[in-house]
């Protein structure tokens, strides 16, 4: 697989290093073309992370109507809102470092949070 195929993994590992330790670095503002490339790689694989979830999951990148993906079908989905890097971090288990918002009904958000914390 080429570097582009590993882009999401490289970015997540890079952020792991940046955000670790006693003085973690804040999230970076990435150029639009890099965000688009990360989204293009992450969005199709997002179902692999969320398909077993007990609720529908809709991924949304603020200010980018084309960057929206239903990662798991279901009525009354929870929207995971954040930039592509934060979406990838959250889905890949770095929930303490990822800066996303969970939006939706209180019950659905709680069901997703409970499911994620049990993983």
- Across the range 82-97, mean pLDDT stands at 94
Q: What is the helix (H) or strand (E) element at residue 102, kind and residue range?
A: strand 101-103
Task: Tell me what pLDDT residue 27 has.
Answer: 92
User: Residues with Cβ < 8 Å from 88, sequence gap 6 or more?
Assistant: 8, 11, 12, 38, 42
CB atoms within 10 A of CB 53: 19
Task: Tell me what pLDDT residue 4 has.
Answer: 56
Pairing of strands 68-72, 57-60: antiparallel
Question: Taking the complete model, does pTM exceed 0.85, yes or no?
Answer: yes
Give the span between the Cα atoms of 74 and 79, in whole angstroms. Answer: 12
Round to the nearest angstrom and report the end-to-end CA distance of the chain. 28
């Amino acid at each position: 697989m080429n570097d582009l195929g590993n882009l999401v993994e490289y970015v997540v590992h890079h952020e792991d290093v940046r955000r670790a330790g006693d003085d973690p670095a804040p999230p970076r503002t990435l150029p639009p073309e890099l965000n688009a490339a990360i989204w293009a790689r992450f969005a199709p694989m997002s179902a692999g992370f969320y398909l077993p979830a007990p609720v529908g999951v809709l991924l949304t990148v603020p200010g980018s109507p084309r960057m929206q993906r239903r990662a798991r079908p279901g009525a009354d989905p929870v929207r995971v809102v954040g930039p592509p890097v934060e979406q990838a971090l959250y889905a890949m288990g770095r929930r303490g470092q990822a800066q996303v918002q969970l939006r939706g009904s209180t019950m659905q958000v709680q069901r997703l949070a409970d499911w994620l914390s049990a993983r």
